[in-house]
């Protein structure tokens, strides 16, 4: 089962760049002077790499948030990171800075993280549910502000904002890839460095504390790293929901091992899931791409409910 899944995933990753509105074949792709070569290396390949990295970051970010907040529904999106990015994108569009959208989105995501941390530092003691509630309050505040932006924008701007909220993997060239690779490596490296602490956090906060761990510092470092990585990812692609929520749950119910042993599989399959969703989104209709956020939810929700039903049979 696991080996089949790996073979299938690698197969998907290999064939993904070849399919889309223009089907490509290997021979023409290898011909450096052809249009197909250009499509493959400038559009399709960067897109697949982008999807893989963003999927991996979102899935792993979801897992870390679920561990830290002790809540199976929490993801970086729950804390308002994505809403912050969306709001700042809307501001950029309304103010006419359309070329700086990624920068604005990143500032939006990171300022949310900074607000969150400055508020939690004022809390008398570490309390993950307060942090979660503050995140939810921020999300509502951002939604209201986004409504205001919609109200203030013209038809064209409204459409652009709407399009960003649906998520998109459209990129040209490898320009944005290095920074995403950096974020993904940073995230994996931090989790690898804090491997012992993460294992202890999987038992209970008290138990981790009694083994000498500085629980507050550890959870803040983990949350901050995830937020930076997700903030960067969202700034390039818009908010792509559901990956961070379902991939950790799906892998746990398939592998049936503790989460510390699922770090790399969750990153890998998160990436594969987004590549597969994008592949379907690009090929279901012949004339247009279906927004990636729509595909991830259409694919993920039924499978997720099926798995829940299977593991909680009456």
Partner 1 sequence: MPLKITNFSNAILYNISFSLPQGHNLILLGSNGVGKTTLAKILSGMIPSDSVDIDGISPSTTFGHSRAKSINYVPPVLEIFDSFISVKAFLTLSCIEPVCNIEEVLNQVGILHLSPKLCHTLSSGESQLVLIASALLHQANYTIFDEPTANLDPQKIQSIFSLLQKSLPSKSKIIITHHLDLAYQLGFDILFLAHGKIAFYGSSADFFEPLHLETLYQGAVIKENHYIRVNL
Query: How far apart are the C-alpha atoms of 286 and 184, rounded to whole Å?
Result: 33
CB of 77 to partner 1, least distance (A): 21
Question: Which residues would be at the binding site for partner 1 (CB under 8 A)?
Answer: 67, 70, 125, 199-204, 206-207, 209-214, 252, 256-259
Residue among 163 and 199 whose Cβ is closer to partner 1: 199
Task: Report d(CA 7, CA 314) in Å as an integer.
Answer: 34
Nearer to partner 1, 169 or 251 (CB): 251
Of 185 and 257, nearer to partner 1 (C-beta) is 257
Closest approach, Cβ 255 to partner 1, in A, equals 8
Q: What one-character DSSP code corresponds to residue 42?
A: I
Going from the C-alpha of 238 to that of each of 41, 60, 235, 260, the distances in angstroms are: 23, 17, 6, 29
CB 125, min distance to partner 1, A: 7
Contact 69/128 with Cβ under 8 angstroms?
yes
Residue reference for tokens 């080996």: 3
Which of 65, 142 has the CB closer to partner 1? 65
Alpha-carbon span 104 to 218, nearest angstrom:
29
Least distance from C-beta 202 to partner 1, angstroms?
Answer: 4
* CB-nearer residue toward partner 1: 105 or 262: 262
**Cα–Cα distance, 111 to 79 (Å, whole number):** 12
Q: How far is the CB of 128 from partner 1 (least distance, A)?
A: 11
Q: How far is the CB of 219 from partner 1 (least distance, A)?
A: 13
Cα gap 241→12, rounded to integer Å: 21
Buried b (16+ CB within 10 A) or exposed e, 100-128: ebbebbbbbbbebbebbeeebeeeeeeeb
Q: Which is nearer to partner 1, 25 or 206 (CB)?
A: 206
């Amino acid at each position: 089962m696991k080996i089949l899944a790996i073979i299938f995933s690698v197969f998907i990753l290999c064939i993904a760049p070849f399919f889309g509105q223009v089907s490509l074949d290997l021979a023409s792709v290898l011909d450096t002077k052809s249009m197909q070569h250009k499509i493959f290396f400038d559009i399709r390949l960067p897109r697949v790499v982008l999807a893989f990295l963003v999927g991996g970051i979102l899935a792993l970010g979801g897992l870390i948030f679920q561990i830290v907040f002790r809540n199976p529904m929490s993801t970086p999106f729950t804390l308002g990171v994505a809403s912050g990015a969306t709001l700042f994108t809307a501001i950029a569009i309304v103010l006419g800075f359309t070329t700086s959208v990624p920068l604005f989105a990143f500032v939006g995501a990171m300022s949310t993280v900074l607000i969150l941390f400055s508020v939690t530092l004022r809390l008398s003691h570490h309390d993950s549910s307060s942090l979660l509630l503050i995140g939810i309050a921020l999300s509502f505040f951002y939604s209201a502000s986004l409504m205001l932006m919609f109200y203030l924008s013209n038809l064209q701007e409204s459409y652009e904002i709407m399009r960003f909220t649906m998520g998109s993997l459209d990129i040209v060239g490898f320009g944005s890839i290095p920074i995403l690779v950096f974020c993904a490596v940073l995230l994996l490296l931090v989790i690898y460095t804090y491997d012992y602490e993460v294992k202890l956090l999987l038992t209970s906060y008290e138990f981790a504390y009694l083994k000498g761990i500085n629980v507050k510092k550890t959870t803040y470092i983990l949350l901050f790293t995830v937020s930076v990585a997700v903030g960067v990812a969202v700034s390039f692609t818009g908010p792509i929901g559901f990956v961070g929520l379902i991939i950790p749950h799906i892998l746990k119910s398939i592998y049936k091992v503790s989460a510390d042993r699922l770090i790399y599989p969750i990153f890998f399959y998160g990436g594969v899931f987004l590549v597969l969703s994008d592949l379907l989104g690009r090929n279901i209709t012949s004339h247009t791409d279906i927004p990636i956020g729509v595909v991830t939810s259409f694919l993920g929700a039924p499978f997720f409910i099926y798995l829940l039903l299977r593991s909680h049979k009456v």
